[in-house]
Structure 1
Amino acid sequence: MVGFLFRVALIVLDHNDIFNPPGGNADALVFTRRAFEWSLLDWPNLLATFNYKASYVYSTIGAIFFKAFGAHNLVLPSLNFLAGMIVIFLAASMTYDLWGRKPAIISAYIMALFPFAAFNSVIALREEFSILVFLIGLFFFLKWVSGKGFGWICIAFLFFPMAVMIHPGWIGAIVGVALYLTYFSIKLILSSVKGAVANRRNISKLFSSIAVLVISLTFIAGSGGISLAKGITIGGENEEENVAGLIESRFEQDPLGGSAYPGFVATGNPYTQPWLIPMRVIYFMFSPFPWDIRSPRQALGMAAMLMYSFLAWRLYKGWPLVKKKDECIALLLIFGALVFIFSIGVTNIGTAIRHRTKFLGLFVILAASSFSTLKIRFRRL
């Protein structure tokens, strides 16, 4: 209810031009205008606009709703509103399964009240839809990791590619799953070498995951590759060349925009200056820092910096529990892959805040490992 009321207030303020959520109105206008134009087409031509490699697949979704129910500026924000409410539920539900009631309640409040998560729910951007589809896939994937049957990972791999269609950056989820598969395989082999007998469930889990992963990666490669907005190409004919030159090329361009990274973070040679990549990761996850603030509007980003610093601290406090759960190892690998992919490509603080909000729910689930020990004290004045 808190999340619902907060988002209603934001929609009212935005619709009446009292307060516009920062960083997305220009893109939202483009998505909405294109959706309206496509809604004027007949159904066959409208459906022909669907292109899973293009960011405007979100406009195709909007055009379908415009065509079916009529065009209005609040149609796409309302769909994102609904998606945002389900996102709160999914994050809290997965937290409850892993850590219990109190961490789930705290997680729900974070997802409901974190400003930048709420902004995604009330403006016409593809972020909220992609977050929803990713978290649905993550929900089923965790069920499989915890020991459920083959069907759960099959359902998960229906949703992960859908998330990639809406926003290609979610390819990090598939990369993270591949990393978990490698970890699990090595773990199983080492235990067998030491004399432990691999049980039937683990062997079935290994072969089922390999089968689904191979099918998914074959689909991506066979479709000509997925080109990410951040300069990353997965699959396709020139994959080797793109991957080889990716990291260095991402450090050759000067940062743009009023909230661009400082030059010592954005440019250089990552091979002769190996600290550049960790600096990129730090700036992506925790900026803006006080010395980066140039306007009152940018100061709003401090809320993001404080929230992600808090979550990192709680993850550190709960690390003894996190490292013991296979589900958390899988979450960490997916989280790490997403952070690395976006960190390399982003050189603007505003863009960093928008992109890292995509996996706020994933970060909250991990940080919730220590929420049960969190105490809020009010001192009597």
Structure 2
Amino acid sequence: MSIPLIAVLTAGISVVSYQLQNYLLTTITGAFLFRLAFIIVDSVVGFLPTVPISSGHNRRAIDLATAWSNGQFVGALGDVTTMRIVMAHLLAPFYVVLGHSPVVGRIGIALVSLLVGYLVFKLARHVTDYRTSVLAASIVLFWPTIVYRSVVIQREVVLVVVMLTFLWAAVQWLDSVTLRTAAIAFLATAATFALRRENLVLIVAMVGFVSLVKSRDKPYLTGLTLLSVPFLAFFALNFETFTGHGSTLSPAALESFAYGRAHGDAVYLMGLHYDTWLDIILYAPMKVLYFLFTPFPWHIQSVTELFVGMSALALLVATLFVRRGIAILHDRPYYLGLLLSYFLTGVVTYSIIEMNYGAAVRRRIQFIPILLLLAVVGLSNVEFDVRWPTR
């Protein structure tokens, strides 16, 4: 199947879905067409910077696809990390079907990224109507930094899908725990361990919150909350296993982790040091601002940074409506609490160890969908009084 044929089929589905008033499908297919056009133009003009790790993902996926075509299903990749194995197996089917062009892997990532919008829609439907949910999905799917990470061969958007999948399952658990949602959560947890194991802390935060809620009616589930204690203790005592820095969790280990990521021209707050836990607490608000809203105007030195900086400014504007969204959801405290347990835990922990706005842009797309969802909920009942001038 050729790329033009994919574009034609997608456009046809988009038109039919719009005529049938299936606006979610229209949004998703439109987002894919936009990504496809983005990929094709960049493959010709080359205006996006090349992500170094992309070539490795591309090569391994092609090697795996070739091995499958030759009947070899074991040992094709050799000794590589689990993350690289997962990415190769995720992308290889696209190379089998569409050929061995590097563009194919980008199309595969673009298709996977569409699940971000679908999951945001499903999360929004718990608290708002269909059209507002579609609006939330649309904003997330077309958010500039999410689009950018959806057209490069990298794990970031895949990880967003994984984390939102677990969050969706956890939201279902607020009503009832089923075998289906438990299986989905288990697979999401396994994928998280393979793609970025430090994110297991976020999963523990979500499970802990749900178990606290459920134990109000079923006290025996309090034990689930207590299960998080051994994991957190293991994480703290084996910090190096998860991050490669320090030995146990300490201000010095966190500083080593942060400065280990602070390289290149995109570093910030290089004079900041964690001597005590109090330093970490006091610096946290400033670090959160840098994590969410960099690059600031004085950081911008290229067209790419201008593009990302404008996205950061738009994110700041969207944040202004988050408080209103939280207020609207006050009658759904468990749902709101679960979203915030993921969002706040993730933003605060990542901001503490981030000192590079290039990396911050990549990492924060895990949490942008929740921020935008809350902002859209905040705008959902805003009424605009438009008065036309009379002659």
The TM-score with structure 2 as length reference comes to 0.76
In the alignment, which of 116, 122, 130 is matched to residue 151 of structure 2? Answer: 122
Structure 1 counterpart of 2:371: 363
State the secondary structure of the residue aligned to 2:100.
Answer: coil
Q: Deviation string for 1:114-166 (max 9, x for gaps)?
A: 11111122111112222222222221211111x12343345323313313312
Alignment of 1:119-268 (within 5 A): 119-145=148-174, 147-151=175-179, 152-181=181-210, 183-184=212-213, 199=217, 202-203=218-219, 206=222, 209-210=224-225, 217=231, 227-228=241-242, 231=244, 241-243=248-250, 245-250=252-257, 255-264=262-271, 266-267=272-273
| CA positional deviation for 1:78 | 1.6
Per-residue CA deviations over 1:197-222 (Å, capped at 9, x if unaligned) read x54xx446555x459x679959x98x
CA distance in 2, matches of 1:216, 1:31: 35
What residue is the counterpart of 2:36 in the other structure? Answer: 8
Partner Cα separation in structure 2 for residue 161 and residue 31 of structure 1: 20
Residue 181 to residue 373, structure 1, CA distance change in 2 (3 Å): closer
Question: Helix, strand or coil: the match of 1:155?
Answer: helix
Shift of 1:319: 2.3
Deviations 1:269-303 (A, max 9, x none): 46464532322121001112222223333111222
What SS does the aligned partner of 2:377 have? helix
Which letter maps to 1:5?
L
Offset of 1:113 from its aligned partner?
1.6
How does 1:26-37 map onto structure 2 within 5 Å?
Answer: 26-37=52-63
Q: What is the identity, as a one-letter code, of the residue corresponding to 1:34?
A: R
1:296 is matched with: 303
Q: What is the CA-CA distance between 1:16 and the residue it aligns to?
A: 1.2
Please say if residues 294 and 357 of structure 2, whose CA atoms lie closer than 8 Å, have aligned partners that are also in contact.
Answer: yes
1:46 is aligned with what amino acid? A
Q: Secondary structure at the match of 1:318?
A: helix
How many percent identity over aligned positions? 21
Deviations for 1:86-112, whole angstroms, at most 9, x for unmatched residues? Answer: 221111221122222343132122112
Quick one: distance in 2 between partners of 1:160 and 1:351? 23
User: Cα distance 1:228–1:9, how it changes in 2: closer, same or farther (>3 A)?
Assistant: farther
Structure 2: how far apart are the matches of 1:376 and 1:182?
Answer: 41
TM-score, length-normalised on structure 1? 0.78
Question: Deviation at 1:83?
Answer: 1.1
**Hey, what's the Cα distance between the residues in 1 that align with 2:229 and 2:101?**
40
TM superposition shift of 1:65: 5.1
Q: Distance in 2 between matches of 1:50 and 1:377?
A: 59
Aligned equivalent of 2:354: 346
Tell whether the 8 Å contact from 2:205 to 2:345 is kept in structure 1 after alignment: yes
Residue 76 of structure 2 corresponds to residue 43 of structure 1: no
The answer for unaligned runs of 5 or more in structure 1 is: 189-197
- String of CA shifts for 1:170-226, please: whole Å, max 9, x gaps: 3242132254157538xx5xxxxxxxxx54xx446555x459x679959x98xx989
Question: Please, which runs of 5 or more residues in structure 2 have no aligned partner?
Answer: 1-26
Q: What whole-Å deviation, never above 9, does each CA across 1:290-333 have from its counterpart, x for those lacking one? A: 22223333111222212321332111112223344201101111
Measured on the aligned residues, the alpha-carbon RMSD in Å equals 3.5
Does the 8 Å CA contact 1:106/1:371 hold for their aligned counterparts?
A: no
1:278 is aligned, of 279, 285, 288, to 285
Residues 1:109 and 1:78: Cα distance change in structure 2 (over 3 Å): same
